[in-house]
Amino acid sequence: MGHTKVLIVDDSLFMRKLIARLIEEDPQLRVVGAARNGEEAVRMAGELLPDVITMDVEMPVMNGLEALARIMKERPVPVVMLSSLTQEGAKETIEALQLGAVDFIAKPSGSTSADLYKIKDEMRQKIKAAAAAPSSALRPIRREPYAAPPPPRMAVLNRSVPASVRQLIAIGTSTGGPRALDAVIGELPAGFPYPVLVVQHMPPKFTRSLADRLDSLSKLRVVEAEDGQPLRGGTVYIAPGDFHMTVAENGGEYRIQLNREPQRNGHRPSVDVLFESVARLSGVKRHYVLMTGMGADGAKGMLLAKESGAGTTIAEAKESCVVFGMPKAAIELGCVDHVVPLAQIPGKLLEFTQKS
């Protein structure tokens, strides 16, 4: 097996050299070029035909988002974004992931940080995973946000403050998740009457930006979950970075509970924690979805959910996953009712929630 060819894009000479050195410590990876801005990146991507591109979000001449859009149009190639841990960096990174970037790495501290060595293992792992992503997973789902939230939206919210929640959807995802969530949540109709709980592996700030962007792209209300928040129909709750999300029932009302208990499967939030919590809510019909992601988080939780009387369990099919890790782990445990490509997941959810 040959080397994975990597093109580095960063406006800082120091960062280009540091990233190249860290990448090439791995004998399976080879840096074939380094671009200073998005314009150079587009040209070099066509000339060097890299397997993966690492792309800084913030650059002069042509920024990372513009370059990404051009590359995805001209010759799609897996792109891993490098982002600063700022709210603006998070916002642009989420947009990049929905434009077709397969993953991102949050720089430890600021945009020209010598601390990058702390995340070198993560960087190499994500580059290798990106190289294996199917070309179907590189296409953006949709370009334009809705011009404005549709008028029925508030009416739906007002109608959907029931004394009790009758059905719940719990979704877990990781690498490739923002694009997958866009495809699923963006297709649920404005009148959808049930709450949707989502764990997406991401640091703080990024989950807030993810919620904001999904809110602008979908007909449902999408929020970053808060501790003690009551569940409402027509609302999607994204677990905040660095907090586990659970649901507690008290007198027929369901509320979100956040905690900072130890990581599970190397993650906080963890899909297993959410799924196990929802599995205990026997008074409500529960539907579970596992989508693209590295590792096995959510598989054991889905098995428990199945044993606890899940309404349905759905796993994303390999053909549409950026990384077929989490769904595969659940399928291997024998707890998945339906294995379907990403585009079919919203239809399945509508089908099974409307059966009751």
Query: Active-site residue numbers?
Result: 174, 201, 297
The secondary structure element, H or E, covering residue 66 is helix 64-74
Residue 31 and residue 19: Cα distance in Å, rounded? 9
- In terms of C-beta density within 10 A (0-12 exposed, 13-18 middle, 19 or more buried), how is residue 102 classed? buried
Question: With contact defined as beta carbons under 8 Å apart, do 346 and 184 qualify?
Answer: yes
Residue written as token pair 């051009």: 70
Question: With contact defined as beta carbons under 8 Å apart, do 61 and 39 qualify?
Answer: yes
Backbone φ and ψ for 244, nearest 5 degrees, come out as: -75, 145
Reading the block at residue 342, the tokens are: 């990403």
Give me the amino acid identity at 353. Answer: T
C-alpha 159, offset from chain centre: 30
How far CA 311 is from CA of 28, 129, 342, in Å, comes to 44, 32, 19
The secondary structure element, H or E, covering residue 286 is strand 285-290
Reading the block at residue 62, the tokens are: 């042509």
